[in-house]
Amino acid sequence: MSVILFFTILILGLAVGSFLNVCIHRLPEGKSIFFPGSHCPQCSKKIKFYDNIPVLSFILLKGKCRFCGSKISVQYPLVELLTAFLFLGAYLWQGLSLGFFSAIVLGCLLIIVFFVDLKHRIIPDVITLPGIVIGLAFALISPQIRILDSLLGLLIGGGVFYLLAILGELLFKKESMGGGDIKLAAMLGAFLGWQKLFLIFFLSAFLGSIIGILAIQFSSKVKKHRTIPYGPFLALASFAALFWGERIIKAYLDLFWGL
């Protein structure tokens, strides 16, 4: 990769990450992601363009609003950096191809899901429902996944999680899995196909079990509610399946089945 191309993709990723922060902040509140322009959530002052440079402005402002001095969440530069790494990783993996664009679209949706569900315990339909359509559209034009695998992934993802939600409600007498998780699983199946979906189910359950036990032990907030959002674990598992899914599946088959 040339130096010019490297910085072009890096800057593009940072800029998109800045937009994802807007989505993460406004979508749970049902606000427009386009209007009004960027402003401080505390004092509502419009943010100047030179204070809105990804990562750099956070450093120069020392993590505080120029006008009211309120702290700026570290989430903002973190999301921007994660998105930049996503863009660079997708390019190194796929080059400028349909696979690259599919990976960054799915990755951006997952970043939004991770932070929104972690904070608000919801997964907005405005992310997952269009995501299902976009995933199917990529399957129609991309040689990397067949439309049949995408459709099966959608049906299996949504169907399995719907059955788990019903069983959980019967066993625990309360909602154990939200509709947002069901739609997210359907979206993941549409993007990645049914094969990687089973890997996502296993990895997310594994991560959720370990972190959930630790969280219940050490977090008073989790002890009080006895629930943790599942979307972040699905998002993390999906990133693993997206970039390393084939290797993980092949390693598993070689180790246990000798295939």
What residues does each domain of the chain span? 1-96, 97-259
Query: Which helix (H) or strand (E) is 25 found in, with range?
Result: helix 3-26
What pLDDT does residue 104 have? 97
- CA-CA distance, 28 to 124, in Å (whole number)? 7
Q: Is the pLDDT of residue 103 over 60?
A: yes
Mean per-residue pLDDT for 36-54? 87
Q: Is the pLDDT of residue 80 over 70?
A: yes
Mean per-residue pLDDT for 164-182? 77
203, 229, 235: which is closest to 114 by C-alpha?
Answer: 235
Partner residues linked to 134 by β-bridges: none
Mean per-residue pLDDT for 181-204? 93
Q: Which residue has tokens 């049906």?
A: 155
What pLDDT does residue 209 have? 87
Q: Is the pLDDT of residue 190 over 90?
A: yes
Q: How is residue 138 written in tokens? A: 């990529």
Residue 129 phi/psi, 5° resolution? -65, -50
Q: Which residue has tokens 């951006």?
A: 108
Mean per-residue pLDDT for 209-218? 79
